[in-house]
Amino acid sequence: MGNLKIILMGCIILMGTSSVSYGEVSEKTMESISRINKVGPYIGLVVPNSFEMAPLLQSNSFAADQRFPYLDFAGRRFRIGKLENEKIILVMTGLGMRYGNGPDDELALESNGDYTRRIGYLKFSKYNNVSKNEKSSDNLLNNAWYQPEEIFPVNGVPEVRQHAFWVSVDKRYFAVSRKLEGMTLEGCINATTCLPRAPVVVRVRKGSSANAFIDNAAYRQFLNSKFNITAIDMESAAVALVCRQQSTPFIAFRALSDLAGGGSAESNEASVFASLAAQNAVTVVAKFISLLLS
């Protein structure tokens, strides 16, 4: 799965416009938020971490706001600027949880210190539910259920829950994204390391998102046959559900860097092509925003 995700939302309003202090929000911060909001609205771009954010910040299509280049608030840095002359606010979310896929079941990026098994972990195959009088029994640890998430929409009745299983992208955004098909993307990291086939931009009808790194061909095939899913990621669901709750349009761009369970026999290929996936995703998003302005 590609590591870069960029979510486009209709606009981001950071906070209200009052100049007084509320709780732990200082008066100075509230004043900064008010000034930023006055020159909005913005398109919001959400990326998982600095590795994926760097290509966008270094892109010639991005220009930081000269007056308010960023606002640090609640542990986040909200970067204000323009991408293809469209006003944007860029913020980092953090990566989703990952399961092991490397040598000795090493967690993805564990060698870089991003993840650890020191807290504890288990292997499902070591646990079963067999009594002395039974030859076999079902192991519930190996079962998975699929169910809708609870949401409380801003236009709903307070404290009356609703449910969401599929979250639709914005119809206009989806229609514009058709023009991205046929784009030329970079296929090589260097002169000797290239993708086995040329990368292409494809619109998918259904994608899935969960806090699990999928590197299993059988499970990939199951998700496709059961739900007609053709893309799997680890972060889009969180933003999609917030947008659904806030009645805010969104669209997700994912750059796929590996095939779940179908890559190299030695290791998953995400670590090899992650930087290429990030750069291609930035290229596609910049083009998409330019199309919104045309």
CB 186 within 8 A of CB 199: yes
pLDDT of residue 238: 85
The amino acid present at 50, given as its one-letter code, is S
31: tokens are 């004043």
CB 70 within 8 A of CB 77: yes
Write phi, then psi, for 165 (nearest 5 degrees): -110, -50
- The neighbour count for residue 248, using CB atoms within 10 Å, is 17
| Predicted confidence pLDDT, tens digits, the chain (294 residues) | 333 333 333 333 333 333 344 456 788 889 999 999 998 899 999 887 787 888 999 999 999 999 999 999 888 899 999 999 999 999 987 765 554 444 555 555 555 666 666 777 777 767 766 666 666 666 666 777 888 988 898 888 988 999 999 999 999 999 999 999 999 999 898 888 888 888 899 998 898 888 777 777 888 889 999 999 988 888 888 888 989 999 999 899 888 777 777 765 445 566 778 888 888 989 999 999 999 887
pLDDT of residue 277: 86
**Which residues sit opposite 100 in a β-bridge?**
107
Q: Where are the domains of the chain?
A: 5-98+146-293
pLDDT of residue 61: 92
Pairing of β 86-92 and β 43-47: parallel
pTM of the model: 0.74
**Cα–chain center distance at 144:** 22
pLDDT of residue 8: 36
- Domain 5-98+146-293: assigned CATH number: 3.40.50.1580
